[in-house]
Amino acid sequence: MAHPWKDLVVWQKSHKLVIEIYKATEIFPDKERFGLTQQLRRSAVSVAANIVEGKSRKTDKEFASFLYNSRGSLEETRYHLLLSRDLNYINPEDYEAIEKMAAEVSYLLNKLISVTLK
């Protein structure tokens, strides 16, 4: 069975973002296991998952709605990353690399939303 969402560059990049976030959160303190670690992972997964769910819908309007949800989850993820950096759970270099990935996903999401709504 084909998965058309796998062909979307924005999904590919968001999937890589999720993987990097999982790697980065492996070293978070145990006390954050059910706090920030879980929130950060959940919001990152939601970025990619909303693209998948939206691409599986029948209309461009529905797809765009899920892309907006994805964008909201991405911004939540970016805040959790910033907080993680400020709490010294993630080093500044790793933060910058992941934030750069998030910025690229944001750009691609915005472009796809604008194309989808035309």
Q: What residue spans define the domains of the chain?
A: 4-116
Average pLDDT of the chain, as a whole number: 96
Contact 14, 106 (CB under 8 A): no
For the residues 79-94, what does the mean pLDDT come to?
Answer: 97
- Give the mean pLDDT of 90-103: 97
pLDDT above 80 (res 2)? no
First to last CA, the chain: 29
Number of alpha helices (DSSP H) and beta strands (DSSP E) in the chain:
4, 0
State pLDDT tens for residues 19-64: 999 999 999 999 999 999 999 999 999 999 999 999 999 899 999 9
Query: Percentage helix, strand, coil, to 5, in the chain?
Result: 80, 0, 20
- Domain 4-116 falls in which CATH fold? de novo design (two linked rop proteins) (1.20.1440)
pLDDT confidence of residue 1? 59
Question: In this predicted structure, what is the pLDDT of residue 3?
Answer: 82
